[in-house]
Structure 1
Amino acid sequence: MSTLDAPHTPTFPPLMYGEAAADPVTHAQMRAIQGCDAGLVAYDLGQSTLQAAIVFAPDVTLAEAAVMLPLCAVGFQNALGALGPPETAVQLEWDGGIRLNAARCGRFGIHASTDNPTEVPDWMVIDLTLPLWPLSDAPGEHPEDTALYAEGCTDVQAPQLLESWSRHTLTWVRSWEDDGIKPLHEAWRGLAWQIGEDVTVLGTTGTFLGVDENFGLLLRDADGATQLIPLTRLLETTP
């Protein structure tokens, strides 16, 4: 039976709840603006793409709350690691990109009620877009891009991956609240893509040294100076 043949309505852990939506990102943002409870997971289990968005209600400033982006990404790696073949390598780009066996495979986005790093947002939304099937049947047409089922993960059903992602993400939120950011730093660093290499991010090129305490990107430029790009620079437009 195909991974997409059997209907399955996702179930979510306590404190999280799901709502199917044709456009999960917009749906989550609009529900957040309307004052929905945190923990909403809007999702669309399409034939070729999994899309989902989680609503958060931060009680810290945007600069600190933006850590939800790498936190959700680590939760995703944990989820796919638990469900997929053991040889599948999942790595995380600082700006939200996902690498599956070194090829690009979806990404995370971040949205909030404010773009002021010193303000406490009324809400924050982290979204996930994950291609399940390749863009084209022609091998080599998009050599840098891949999809979940093209990488040997055909036994990973999208609803189960969504459920697992929500559970692992909630576990990391609790860890962040109880133990601080250090465990998340350690987990993320072991998954980070291209640390120590030259990268170009948001128009800035340099050697990727790592991240600061709030996961701001540290780049060393050609002159040896270190530049900091905060996570808040990744905020996307809010309706």
Structure 2
Amino acid sequence: MTEAPRFPPLLRGVAAGSGEDPFEKACAMAALGCDGGTLVYSLMADRLRAALVFAPEVPLEDAMAMVPVCGVGFQNALGALAPPEVAVQLTWDGGIRVNGAGCGFLQARASRSEARAVPEWLVVGIEISLMQTETDPGANPDVTALHDEGCADMGPNYLLEGWARHTLVWINRWGDEGNASLHDQWMGLLVGVGEPIERAGVRGVFLGVDEKFGMLIRDNETTHLVPLSSLAGEPT
């Protein structure tokens, strides 16, 4: 039987029930007024899913820094547990890549979608593939799982605990230092910078991100900004 994960004192773990989506459950709990720091999780044989509830005190355009926070937190956690040859990269829109292949994703939802409004709550969810269920895992080289990348002995509870700890470290660091350190860390993990891209109806070259982690796309005439807050889906 898998040992129940342990979280730092500022986080409260809630196990999702059988068949429940932790992200949807966290959003429902947030809408009902649960405390920030509630972490809903599901540990399965083939995947790890978790969602962290935030109670922002800043506008959504600033609160969305929690998406990079959670991404860098995962990279730090896996880096501490996995063999040194395992490399983690992130995509601007929440994709998580391990050794160059897709292995999971981050997603976000807020109570309000206006960039300059302070949302009552923000939820950031993470899903990681632990084991591929296809009969021929090598059939799609662009998709992988941690077990295929040398992490077969890694318990999902330890990975979840590590993600929670490292994410909390970055939350505190962001609160003390602002975006600068987080920006540097995230930029170092982003894939696709300098490459052609099409996003939000804009086609050009992905130049990088601005000080609030918005995507900068350069076409033949100008540089366009796609704010990170555009990734926060509204509640259904």
Whole-angstrom CA distance in 1 between matches of 2:86 and 2:199 = 26
Asked if structure 1 preserves the Cα contact closer than 8 Å seen for 2:113 and 2:234, the reply is no
| Structure 1 residue 53 corresponds to structure 2 residue 45 | no
1:150, CA displacement in angstroms?
1.0
Which has the larger displacement, 126-135 or 91-100?
126-135
Partner of 2:203: 205
Whole-angstrom CA distance in 2 between matches of 1:202 and 1:132 = 31
Partner of 1:11: 6
Whole-angstrom CA distance in 2 between matches of 1:203 and 1:10 = 42
Give secondary structure in 2 for the equivalent of 1:168.
Answer: helix
1:224, CA displacement in angstroms?
3.9
Give secondary structure in 2 for the equivalent of 1:190.
Answer: helix
Partner of 1:173: 171
- Residue in structure 1 matching 2:183, options 173, 182, 185: 185
Give secondary structure in 2 for the equivalent of 1:174.
Answer: helix
Whole-angstrom CA distance in 1 between matches of 2:94 and 2:186 = 12
Using the aligned pairs only, state the percent identity: 48
Give secondary structure in 1 for the equivalent of 2:189.
Answer: coil
Q: For structure 1, list consecutive stretches of 5 or more residues without a partner in the other structure.
A: 1-5
Residues 151-206 of structure 1 deviation map (CA, whole Å, 9 limit, x = unaligned): 11112211101011011111101011111110001111111112111223345332
The root-mean-square deviation of aligned C-alpha atoms, in Å, is 1.2
TM-score with structure 1 setting the length: 0.94
Partner of 2:224: 227
Aligned pairs for 1:119-198 (under 5 A) are: 119-198=117-196
Whole-angstrom CA distance in 2 between matches of 1:198 and 1:134 = 30
Whole-angstrom CA distance in 2 between matches of 1:76 and 1:31 = 23
Q: For structure 2, list consecutive stretches of 5 or more residues without a partner in the other structure.
A: none
TM-score with structure 2 setting the length: 0.95
- The one-letter code sitting in structure 2 at the alignment partner of 1:204 is V
Partner of 2:235: 238
Aligned residues: 233
Whole-angstrom CA distance in 2 between matches of 1:227 and 1:192 = 18
